[in-house]
Amino acid sequence: MEISEIGEFGLIDRITRDMPLRQPSTRKAVGDDAAIINYGPDRDTLVSTDLLVEGIHFDLTYVPLKHLGYKSIVVNLSDICAMNGTPRQVTVGLAVSSRFTVEHIEQLYAGMRLACEVYGVDLVGGDTTSSRSGLVIAVTVIGDCPADKAVRRSGAHDTDLICVSGDLGAAYMGLQLLEREKVASAGQKDFVPRFEGKEYLVERQLKPEARADIVALLAREGIEPTSMIDVSDGLSSELLHICKASDCGCRVYEERIPIDYQTAVMAEEIGMNLVTAALNGGEDYELLFTVPLHMHDKVSSLDGVHVIGHITKPELGCALVTRDGNEMQLRAQGFNHMAPAENSATAAPADPHNEETAK
């Protein structure tokens, strides 16, 4: 059986289904954004690991190494935020090919140091080895939260409100813009990419942020989400994760999905359906969460938070309600990490010795 036949999450389910938990301190293992471990009565420890692989997750033709270092830390911190936790420490594993110089790795770690400074986390260890196929970055993040206060994907209930922070689709449009300019630059020595008026899209793709501010905002307002996840693989995929884990359905309203103006302009330029980009683009790293219906007025008043739908009984399924009132079944069409190579999000690896790449 090819791995692509069952996809990333099918593979995870298959290899972990018979993995017993032997330690009483393990509260939750595979199946959420982070594992939950408890070593004492007051706080739970959260642990998550992510990989970034050259040619799959990033293309060094247009991704500066300092930005890549920053992003590699932030996307891991986002997993702790998605559990309603606070990130504390990270470790970094690095596999490096001979194409990279010491100066290249210094640039990469400059971005990592900046991310650690911005979010107040410590880089406490890791490992470095050689690679025959480019650059591989593995980051493990350790965080915590008050005991039994971690928010999982499995707590959503019928009539809960579905909320999301920020806006959606911008990171994917940023990727399309970078790919477009990469194609346009082929064979041109002094090419200048056209990013004017779309700087926000480029930033969302190259330098995302973890929404620790939203976690803090919810805590200040006394709002405890019933379920939560970060939007890394697309809104549709993440909603379906919550609904599967919580054994429920959902209704999301097209007109309520928050989309930035630059995202809309870019989608029109490339002839892409705007809602498709918002539902399936991924890499926005916004927080998607549910709250009880009685909190509608309170959560609706929060700056940067949008109510986009509600949870339903499982037999009603998961659907997008269009502007004209029709319902369309939600499908997980976001980025598939185990898809065949031709469906990869990035193109072939670039040479970091190129001066433009190394900036």
Token pair for 141:
């993040």
CATH domain 3-150 topology? 60s Ribosomal Protein L30; Chain: A; (3.30.1330)
Using CA atoms, how far apart are residues 312 and 327, in angstroms rounded to an integer? Answer: 14
* Domain 153-334, CATH: 3.90.650.10
The distance between the two most distant Cα atoms of the chain, rounded to a whole number of Å, is 62
**The pLDDT value given to residue 22:** 61
Residue pair 18/46 in contact (Cβ under 8 Å)? The answer is no
Per-residue pLDDT, averaged over 85-94, amounts to 90
Q: What is the pLDDT of residues 117-136, one digit of tens each?
A: 999 988 887 888 889 889 99
Q: Residue 137: name the closest of 149, 123, 153 by CA.
A: 123
Using CA atoms, how far apart are residues 32 and 82, in angstroms rounded to an integer? Answer: 9
Name, in order, each residue with C-beta under 8 angstroms of 142's C-beta and a sequence gap of 6 or more: 45, 46, 47, 87, 88, 89, 90
pLDDT bracket for residue 359 (50, 70, 90): very low
Residue pair 164/306 in contact (Cβ under 8 Å)? The answer is yes
Per-residue pLDDT, averaged over 181-200, amounts to 89
Q: What is the DSSP code string of 110-133?
A: HHHHHHHHHHT-EEEEEEEEE-SS
**The pLDDT value given to residue 274:** 92
Judged by DSSP in three states, 355 sits in helix
Residue 122, CB-side half-sphere exposure with 13 Å CA sphere: 4
Of the listed ranges 42-46, 57-61, 184-188, 338-342, the one predicted with least confidence: 338-342
Q: Residue 225: name the closest of 156, 294, 286, 284 by CA.
A: 156
Of the listed ranges 48-52, 209-213, 250-254, the one predicted with least confidence: 48-52
Coarse DSSP helix, strand, coil percentages of the chain, rounded to the nearest 5 percent? 40, 25, 40
Using CA atoms, how far apart are residues 6 and 12, in angstroms rounded to an integer? Answer: 10
Per-residue pLDDT, averaged over 58-77, amounts to 96
Sole residue written with tokens 């199946």: 31
Enter the pTM of the model. Answer: 0.84
Of the listed ranges 128-132, 146-150, 288-292, the one predicted with least confidence: 128-132
pLDDT at 157 over 90: yes
Q: Residue 166: name the closest of 219, 217, 124 by CA.
A: 217
For helices 199-206 and 170-185, the axis angle rounded to 10 degrees is 100
Note the helical H segments in 127-167. Answer: none
Domain boundaries, the chain: 3-150, 153-334
Q: What is the pLDDT of residues 223-254, one digit of tens each?
A: 999 999 999 999 999 999 999 999 999 999 99
**The pLDDT value given to residue 192:** 86
